[in-house]
């Protein structure tokens, strides 16, 4: 019994082992098949994807071919998808390049939608027709030009024949003229040689004459320079002879009454003094106050300023008392430096026993109102005892003439040049004065030396005041505005102050 059980177990074990082996082999085979099937499935999937990609590529190429042949036009967005696939293949890229070149060469005039090979033959045919038409026109034009050329050639041959005939005639005439020219040239050459010999002789004589004249001119230049120096010295001598130094003044102050603003001078009827003659007063020991002779015009203002600074005052003759005594009023003086007995008096327009002569030139404006005051200047000189020899009027007219006895040239402002006649007369008189050595002074210097004092405009006040003298003037650049007539309460009636007891108004 036990032996049977052992055999049964052995059999069972053997069966188990066999079954296990069979299962193991079956499992191995199954897994091996499974792996092969997975590999085949993956390969089939890859092949499918490749086939799909190829189908897509073929579809893109097919669409592109339809586009270029005009079967189906692609939009710009579709072309942006198709073109990269086309350019990715070498053969298709070559087809695309050829298409681009053909369209660029023959597709002129086609729109973007019609750039295809279907439309291209029509465009090419039109261009061929145009070229044929142009070729026909060119052929006709060429034939016409050939005909014109032949006609021109024929005309040219005729003209050449005529020109040759004319050339032969000209050659014959030239030969004749050459013979005549040679004969004339021989005669002219002989004549020129004779004239040249004569010319050389004359040149020699002229050269000698020029040398003599140059020597004479040099001698005359030297003589002129010497004469100029002599004239300059003579001018200085004349000026010195006729110019009394200021050390010998016109007169002196004999007595002074400051309370009555009156002075007495040692000049009178015997000296030819007249009423209203004005004098400048200088200190008793003042030197060289009179304007210097021959001074440059540019120094007039400095000289005038110096004389004004040194002047003590001005007087005007009011009464001629005796042969050498006259009474005068003090026109102006300085409190810090009053006029004293012994002070000197001077006036360029007056000299004892003789008349001082003047000349006037230029625009003369004393009060700065841009109006000529020439009449006033004449009156001032006349009242001072002077005489006017010559003057250039404001319109350019010249009156009188200068002489060696003319003492001063009174020079006003230079004309503005708007009238050449006035400027010419102005320059001529100044030039004559310089030639005669006449001393030049400006208007301000003359008036200062004569003690002239411009009138001061006064306006009366009080009850007799003229309201027209108090007109309000508008500010420059602002229009005048009229008053409404209403007056503020701030402004009260003004009354004169009441005199206080004791005789004082305050």
Tell me, what's the pLDDT at 83?
79
In the listed set 80, 114, 148, which residue is the last one of a domain according to the structure?
Answer: 114
Q: Is the pLDDT of residue 38 over 60?
A: yes
In the listed set 60, 80, 114, which residue is the last one of a domain according to the structure?
Answer: 114
Task: Report residue 115 as tokens.
Answer: 């750039």
The set of residues, in sequence order, having a beta carbon less than 8 Å from that of 274 and lying 6+ positions away, is 317, 320, 383, 385
Tell me, what's the pLDDT at 500?
44
Report the CATH number that the domain containing residue 351 is assigned in CATH.
2.40.10.410
Tell me, what's the pLDDT at 326?
95
Residue with tokens 């102005």: 426
Residue 411 lies in a domain: yes
Q: Which residue has the higher pLDDT, 294 or 422?
A: 422
Tell me, what's the pLDDT at 146?
92
Q: pLDDT tens-digit profile of 473-499? A: 555 444 445 445 555 554 455 554 454
Residue 294 lies in a domain: yes
Residue with tokens 């009850």: 463
Q: Are 314 and 280 in contact (CB under 8 A)?
A: yes
Residue 227 lies in a domain: no
Name the pTM for this structure. 0.40
DSSP string, 233-275: HHHHHHHHHH---TTS-SEEEEEEETTTTEEEES--GGGT--T
In the listed set 418, 434, 450, which residue is the last one of a domain according to the structure?
Answer: 450
Tell me, what's the pLDDT at 261?
93
**In total, how many domains does the chain have?**
2
The three-class DSSP label of residue 328 is strand
Domain with 98, as residue range(s), is 2-114
């Amino acid at each position: 019994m036990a032996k049977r059980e052992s055999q049964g177990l052995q059999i069972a074990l053997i069966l188990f082992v066999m079954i296990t082996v069979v299962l193991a082999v079956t499992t191995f085979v199954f897994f091996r098949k499974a792996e092969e099937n997975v590999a085949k499935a993956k390969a089939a999937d890859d092949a499918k994807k490749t086939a799909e990609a190829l189908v897509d590529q073929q579809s893109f190429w097919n669409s592109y071919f339809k586009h270029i042949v005009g079967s189906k036009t692609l939009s710009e967005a579709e072309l942006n998808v198709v073109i990269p696939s086309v350019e990715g293949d070498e053969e298709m890229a070559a087809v695309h390049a050829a298409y681009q070149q053909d369209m660029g060469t023959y597709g002129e005039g086609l729109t973007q939608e019609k750039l295809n090979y279907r439309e291209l033959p029509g465009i090419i045919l039109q261009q061929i027709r145009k070229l044929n038409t142009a070729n026909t026109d060119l052929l006709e034009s060429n034939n016409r030009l050939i005909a014109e050329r032949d006609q021109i050639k024929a005309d040219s041959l005729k003209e050449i024949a005529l020109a040759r005939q004319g050339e032969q005639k000209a050659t014959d005439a030239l030969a004749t003229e050459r013979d005549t020219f040679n004969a004339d040239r021989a005669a002219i050459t002989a004549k020129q040689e004779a004239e040249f010999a004569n010319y050389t002789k004359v040149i020699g004589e002229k050269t000698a004459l020029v040398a003599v004249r140059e020597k004479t001119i040099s001698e005359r230049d030297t003589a002129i320079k010497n004469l100029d120096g002599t004239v300059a010295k003579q001018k200085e001598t004349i000026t010195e002879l006729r110019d009394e130094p200021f050390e010998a003044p016109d007169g002196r102050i004999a007595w002074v009454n400051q309370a009555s603003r009156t002075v007495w001078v040692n000049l009178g009827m015997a000296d030819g003094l007249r009423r209203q003659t004005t004098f400048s007063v200088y200190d008793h020991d003042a030197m060289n106050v009179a304007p210097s002779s021959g001074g440059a015009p540019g120094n007039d203002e400095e000289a005038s300023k110096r004389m004004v600074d040194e002047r003590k005052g001005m007087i005007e003759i009011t009464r001629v008392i005796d042969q050498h005594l006259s009474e005068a009023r003090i026109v102006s003086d300085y409190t810090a430096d009053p006029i004293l007995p012994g002070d000197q008096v001077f006036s360029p327009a007056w000299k004892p026993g003789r008349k001082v002569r003047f000349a006037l030139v230029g625009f003369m404006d004393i009060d700065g109102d841009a109006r000529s005051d020439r009449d006033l200047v004449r009156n001032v000189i006349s009242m001072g005892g002077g005489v006017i020899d010559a003057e250039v009027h404001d319109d350019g007219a010249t009156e009188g003439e200068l002489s060696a006895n003319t003492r001063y040239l009174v020079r006003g402002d230079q004309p503005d040049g708007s009238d050449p006649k006035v400027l010419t007369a102005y320059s001529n008189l100044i030039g004559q004065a310089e030639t005669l050595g006449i001393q030049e002074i400006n208007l301000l210097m003359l008036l200062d030396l004569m003690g002239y004092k411009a009138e001061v405009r006064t306006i009366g006040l009080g009850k007799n005041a003229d309201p027209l003298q108090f007109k309000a003037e508008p500010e420059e650049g602002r229009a005048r505005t009229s008053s409404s007539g209403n007056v503020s309460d701030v402004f009260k009636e003004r009354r004169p102050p009441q005199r206080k007891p004791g005789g004082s108004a305050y």
